[in-house]
Structure 1
Amino acid sequence: MSLATLADVLQPALKGGYAVAGLVTLGWEDMRAFVAAAEAVNCAVILQAGPGCREHTPLPVLGRMFRHLAEAASVPVVAHLDHGYTYDECSEALDCGFTSLMFDGCRRPLAENIAQTRKIAELAHAAGISCEGEIGFVGYAEGEQSAGTDPEEAARFAAETGVDAMAISVGNVHLQQNKEGGLDEARIATIQALTNVPLVIHGGSGVPVEQRARLAKNTHICKYNIGTELRMVFGAALRDAVNADPSRFDRVSILKETHDPMVAATRHVLSALKG
């Protein structure tokens, strides 16, 4: 059994100078490909169930899917709740077998974010699992703009919540389809000088691969969330499979053709972070 907590995989990354990918899942096809790629590269992987995934598939089902894959895997696999917004949602994920809870209180006033995140961290730690918190709002491409993380607030947040990982806003953007952006390395350096917790970059698809790899090696960034980049590969493979034979209607045979392209693209993502 290779089921792991977030702390299990991020603490070695922090010490070893590499990062672990938090891969955004939407269904069985992509999560299975993600684990296959992690086994091929021989590295840990974090399977993430975000709000969109949970809207489509209930938490009890996702928990069983993640754990089924982890128990058969030869590498550590984390079952991670991404962007949980309430205590009850996080508590349900815990009951459903998740090994990591990410509570997103970044839109709340600082004191409230700290208090609520600490409550989730205490819930997680009492059950022997991990907690990720977020300080500083990460915006969206073609949408709401980011609010950069204040380093002093980050230091207070890390100290007072007891989180196992801290997501920060340092130029990263959700749903970015190109890699024309980049992270604010000066701000990252200031944050890590004031904290010792593993740092997390949401919206990792928009970060140039070279910068991902370099910062994974040389900073406290231990986790990159990758979603859009791999969803684009899945969509292209699915279109190719459908268009190759317009008379075909069996979705299982169609979806099988997404597996190899997804594994190949995921291996590329994972290899760049491995160090």
Structure 2
Amino acid sequence: MLVTLKELVEDAKEKKYAVGSFNTPNLETLRAVIKAAEEVNSPVIVAHAEVHEDLIPLDVMGPIMIQEAKKAKVPVCVHLDHGSSFEQCVKAMKLGFTSVMYDASGKSFEDNVTETKEIVKIAHSLGISVEAELGHIFTSAVGGGEGRGPLGAEDFNSLDDAYTNPDSAKEFVERTNVDALAIAFGTTHGVYLTKPELDLNRITEIKNKIDIPFVMHGASGLSDEEYRTAINNGITKINYFTYMSMAGGTAISNFVKEMDEKNEAIFFHELALIAEEGIKQNVKGVLNTFLNQKVPLHVQPL
């Protein structure tokens, strides 16, 4: 069933669990994520990242995502991830997406506020949710894919310059009226090359200033304990892609080795299904962690 982001994260905030958000740049990944959510009985967010336009365009993948969401047995939000332009966000809205993320975090605070506020006005008039980002989430050189190149702690004078400031977060939310805010506290897009130094207490500090649903980007590779602490401190949406995609690649690699040992032919359609199963199993594992032993919501479809 197709639902909005606001419905999902508000329920998650109340019950202290997190909804998983997964980029789905092809049909196999989309099916794997929705099947995993159905088997775990969890709400889920399927997302199209603007950076994946070279893999499949929004206007091709978007309608497929919406169709599959409507058929799903669990609540599914269809979300634009890291939209960097008004045009892309509006295109997603016109296609029927129930949520968009407008990411102006690389701009000045005032520009971020002004531009996000305009997107919120448009989206809310259509009943569509909006996520924004404040602070700087690090980007690995391996699989980061945010379109800005690698970004680490060494690019800032101090971690405080990179992490989300609680007072700024309060002002940003009050001025923009966003439904969810992605905050920076040490996570990294892509593969972790070193153990991350997370400031999980910062989530609580921000929550004490402004109590809305918060989003964790760059969540692949963390421990179950780190996930649960983040959720208990106020994270209600967790973006997860890199290690899910790697699970699909590992499944293919293992299958190819097995077939080579048997000297048997390998067919592409088999590889796609092998990857789908590997992704599904990985997603089921993290969804169980994100649920935090809470009962997911059941809402009326759009």
> Would the TM-score normalized by the shorter structure come out above 0.5?
yes
Q: Does 1:254 align with 2:271?
A: yes
2:152 aligns with 145
The Cα shift of 1:225 comes to 0.5
The Cα shift of 1:209 comes to 1.9
1:106 aligns with 105
The Cα shift of 1:179 comes to 8.2
Query: Could you say what secondary structure the match of 1:22 adopts?
Result: strand
Whichever residue aligns with residue 221 of structure 1, its letter is: I
TM-score by length of 2: 0.86
Question: 1:167–1:86: structure 2 CA closer, same or farther, 3 Å change rule?
Answer: same
TM-superposition CA deviations, 1:123-166 (whole Å, max 9, x none): 11111110000000112124212511111111111111111100
1:29 aligns with 28
User: Does structure 1 conserve the Cα–Cα contact (< 8 Å) formed by 2:248 and 2:274?
Assistant: no
Please provide the CA RMSD for this pair.
Answer: 1.6
2:51 aligns with 52
1:93 aligns with 92
Q: Does 1:264 align with 2:281?
A: yes
TM-score by length of 1: 0.94
User: Does structure 1 conserve the Cα–Cα contact (< 8 Å) formed by 2:42 and 2:74?
Assistant: yes
User: Does structure 1 conserve the Cα–Cα contact (< 8 Å) formed by 2:24 and 2:47?
Assistant: yes
Identify the match of residue 173 of structure 1 among 172, 183, 188: 188
User: Does structure 2 conserve the Cα–Cα contact (< 8 Å) formed by 1:242 and 1:248?
Assistant: no
Question: 1:256–1:179: structure 2 CA closer, same or farther, 3 Å change rule?
Answer: farther
TM-superposition CA deviations, 1:17-62 (whole Å, max 9, x none): 1000111222111110000000011011111111332222111222
TM-superposition CA deviations, 1:98-121 (whole Å, max 9, x none): 111001000111011001011111
Whichever residue aligns with residue 152 of structure 2, its letter is: Q
- Between the two proteins, what is the percent identity of the paired residues? 32
Query: Could you say what secondary structure the match of 2:211 adopts?
Result: coil
Distance (whole Å) between structure 2 residues aligned to residue 31 and residue 179 of structure 1:
30
Q: Does 1:197 align with 2:197?
A: no
User: Does structure 2 conserve the Cα–Cα contact (< 8 Å) formed by 1:27 and 1:53?
Assistant: no
Whichever residue aligns with residue 268 of structure 2, its letter is: R
Question: 1:103–1:73: structure 2 CA closer, same or farther, 3 Å change rule?
Answer: same
Q: Can you give the 5+ residue segments of structure 1 that lack an aligned partner in the other structure?
A: none
The Cα shift of 1:182 comes to 4.7
The Cα shift of 1:178 comes to 6.6
Distance (whole Å) between structure 1 residues aligned to residue 6 and residue 193 of structure 2:
30
Distance (whole Å) between structure 2 residues aligned to residue 114 and residue 186 of structure 1:
25
Distance (whole Å) between structure 1 residues aligned to residue 191 and residue 208 of structure 2:
28
Q: Does 1:64 align with 2:81?
A: no
Distance (whole Å) between structure 1 residues aligned to residue 52 and residue 151 of structure 2:
21
Query: Could you say what secondary structure the match of 1:257 adopts?
Result: helix
Query: Could you say what secondary structure the match of 2:79 adopts?
Result: strand
Please identify, of 10-19 and 253-262, the stretch whose mean Cα deviation from structure 2 is larger: 253-262
1:84 aligns with 83
Distance (whole Å) between structure 2 residues aligned to residue 208 and residue 182 of structure 1:
12
Distance (whole Å) between structure 2 residues aligned to residue 188 and residue 259 of structure 1:
34
User: Does structure 1 conserve the Cα–Cα contact (< 8 Å) formed by 2:203 and 2:230?
Assistant: no
Q: Does 1:221 align with 2:238?
A: no
The Cα shift of 1:69 comes to 1.2
User: Does structure 2 conserve the Cα–Cα contact (< 8 Å) formed by 1:172 and 1:206?
Assistant: no
User: Does structure 1 conserve the Cα–Cα contact (< 8 Å) formed by 2:200 and 2:229?
Assistant: no
Please identify, of 58-67 and 37-46, the stretch whose mean Cα deviation from structure 2 is larger: 58-67
